[in-house]
């Protein structure tokens, strides 16, 4: 199974962010960019790739431990940008940071990556520094360089904040129309009995 750990977005945040995206997405050439459906928006903490057999259960145990040792978070949306870089774009994203001066989000992401290192035995999400983001569009084939003058006309991402009390282990199912996600387990932050089974999203 193709797995990743992530944080879901509350429906009110998705709704407000959708309003911004629907008004601004025209600044990206629709011939070169495919929007991600809003119900699939999420914040990835660590991507594990293909995981099979007992490694899935071991990974879930490690994530449960990460969650037990993490405090609830308050996150906020902010800027936007491209991965891996504007000169070679593959993904257009909206940034997510922890509200205030805390570093709990980075610590949680680091723990989720280490969970993959320990159980899947391969490096996760490369070793680039963690940068919280929501992928809202993906390139179609090879995108032309974005028109930076046009992007400067794009309205700022609204600053939206929300509380986070749980993380999820997801299965990513690749389909011609784009990936679909199945929530395998949910882990409550700072909880003792913190695991529940998930569902498709």
Q: What is residue 200's predicted lDDT score, i.e. its pLDDT?
A: 45
Question: What is the chain's mean pLDDT, rounded?
Answer: 89
Is the predicted pLDDT of residue 118 greater than 90, yes or no?
no
Residues labelled catalytic:
42, 133
Q: Give the separation between CA 132 and CA 108, rounded to whole angstroms.
A: 11
For residue 150, report the phi and psi dihedrals to the nearest 5 degrees. Answer: -65, -45
Q: Give the separation between CA 173 and CA 19, rounded to whole angstroms.
A: 27
Number of domains the chain is built from = 1
Q: What is the percent of the chain with per-residue pLDDT over 70, rounded to a whole number? A: 90
Bridge-partner residues for 30, per DSSP?
none
Q: What are the Cα distances from residue 120, in Å, to 5, 7, 68, 93, 198?
A: 13, 20, 21, 27, 21
Structure tokens at 92: 């257009």
Kindly report, residue by residue over 11-55, the tens digit of the pLDDT. 999 999 999 999 999 999 888 899 999 999 999 999 999 998 789
Are the beta carbons of 89 and 32 closer than 8 angstroms? no
Task: Kindly state the helix (H) or strand (E) to which residue 150 belongs, with its residue range.
Answer: helix 148-151
Are the beta carbons of 40 and 201 closer than 8 angstroms? yes
Which residue matches tokens 């995108």?
Answer: 143
Q: Give the separation between CA 120 and CA 55, rounded to whole angstroms.
A: 6
The model carries a pTM of: 0.89
Q: Give the separation between CA 93 and CA 91, rounded to whole angstroms.
A: 6
Kindly report, residue by residue over 136-171, the tens digit of the pLDDT. 999 887 766 777 888 889 999 999 999 999 999 999
Q: What is residue 191's predicted lDDT score, i.e. its pLDDT?
A: 64
Residue 128 domain boundaries: 2-197
- Tell me, what CATH number does 172's domain have? 3.90.1140.10
Residue closest to 47 by CA, chosen among 104, 98, 106, 120: 120
Structure tokens at 59: 């990974």
Buried b (16+ CB within 10 A) or exposed e, 157-186: beebebebeebbbbbbeeeeeeebbbbbbb
């Amino acid at each position: 199974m193709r797995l990743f750990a992530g944080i879901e977005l509350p429906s009110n945040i998705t709704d407000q962010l959708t309003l911004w995206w629907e008004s601004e997405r025209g600044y990206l050439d629709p011939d070169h960019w495919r929007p991600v459906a809003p119900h699939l928006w999420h914040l990835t903490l660590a991507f594990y790739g293909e995981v099979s057999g007992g490694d899935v259960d071991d990974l879930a145990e490690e994530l449960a431990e990460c969650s037990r040792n993490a405090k609830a978070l308050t996150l906020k949306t902010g800027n936007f940008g491209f991965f891996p870089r504007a000169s070679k774009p593959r993904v257009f994203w909206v940034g997510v940071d922890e509200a205030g001066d805390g570093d709990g989000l980075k610590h949680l992401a680091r723990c989720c990556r280490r969970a993959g290192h320990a159980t899947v035995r391969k490096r996760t999400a490369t070793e680039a520094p963690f940068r919280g983001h929501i992928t809202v569009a993906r390139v179609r084939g090879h995108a032309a360089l974005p028109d930076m003058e046009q992007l400067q006309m794009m309205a700022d991402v609204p600053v939206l904040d929300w509380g986070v009390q749980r993380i999820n282990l997801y299965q990513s199912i690749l389909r011609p129309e784009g990936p679909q996600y199945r929530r395998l387990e949910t882990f409550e932050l700072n909880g003792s009995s913190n695991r529940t089974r998930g569902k498709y999203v």
